[in-house]
Amino acid sequence: MPDGTRPGDAALLEEFASFLLLQRGRSAHTVRAYVGDVADLLAETPGSAARADLDRLDLPVLRRWLAGQTARGMARSTMARRASAVRTFTAWATASGYLTADPALRLKAPRADRALPTVLNTRQAADAVEAAGREDPGSGEEATEPESAAVRARDAALLELLYGAALRVSEACALDVGGLDLDAGLVRVLGKGSKERVVPFGSPAAAALRAWLGQRHHLAGQVAGDALFVGVRGRRIDPRTVRTIVHRSATQAGVPDIAPHGLRHSAATHLLEGGSDLRTIQEMLGHASLATTERYTHVSPERLLATFRQAHPRA
């Protein structure tokens, strides 16, 4: 539990964390963030030295707490997440009998900024992906031959799949060898909320994956299990290493710096520009809401102009 949490609050937060993890299927990262947000709220809620008095957790308290976040200069995205954490907590606390009524039902908070990540054009994306398998991996991992050759093969397959299947970095790290169907060009992905989906990928990714699977034994240890992508220590690859690989590949390719999420956004944008409909892209990306897909995909000015000229009667 976060530092400064009262003993009684800590027990309550442990129960809330179990609810998020086991019943809502939230990721460990989300659970930590939500629990930290609620702990901060409880620390400012009137009560005894042992525990916040939940009967005094009302709408004015919530509004003052959010106002305090604003005064500290919190980003709108952070404010939106904290409000979401509080709403989830109060709804759970009400259903669990800790609150007689949900005080957050009328709580308003600023919406998260709708800033979009960097988007590469198709040529830049291809250059970044193709740069991954070159000499000098530079991913921060100490590797010797034949490990270095395996790392290059892994990085090439990783970038091909991140872009080719528009995966989240967490999804790529969680992939298993058994989830691949190279002949069909499909991969089984475990997304947010432990929701499983099957995503297609193209022949370049299939070729890179076959090359990597032929080298995987040089890196994989017993602790790797069925993990598709592994690090030089023999374990399942971690998100930090993946981010380093993507940043390094962009630098080597001489394209704008990009993170894995930007590569995913680029893939979604290129699908849209290539004629895919939003519902198909939604399914591929694993978005629960079409509104989320609309945020992560946008029409380029060129496509907008071409569509206008083709469809508008006064064009």
Active site residues: 168, 192, 261, 264, 287, 296
User: Tokens 């000098």 correspond to what residue?
Assistant: 136
> What is the CA angle 60-61-64, rounded to 5?
85
DSSP bridge partners of 176: 227
Q: Checking DSSP bridges between strand 196-200 and strand 186-190, what pairing results, if any?
A: antiparallel
What are the two backbone dihedrals, phi and then psi, of residue 98, each rounded to the nearest 5 degrees? -80, -25
Letter string b/e over residues 186-209, b meaning 16 or more CB atoms within 10 A of that residue's CB: bbebbbeeeeeeebebeebbbebb
DSSP bridge partners of 199: 187
Q: Distance between CA atoms of 200 and 58, rounded to whole angstroms?
A: 48
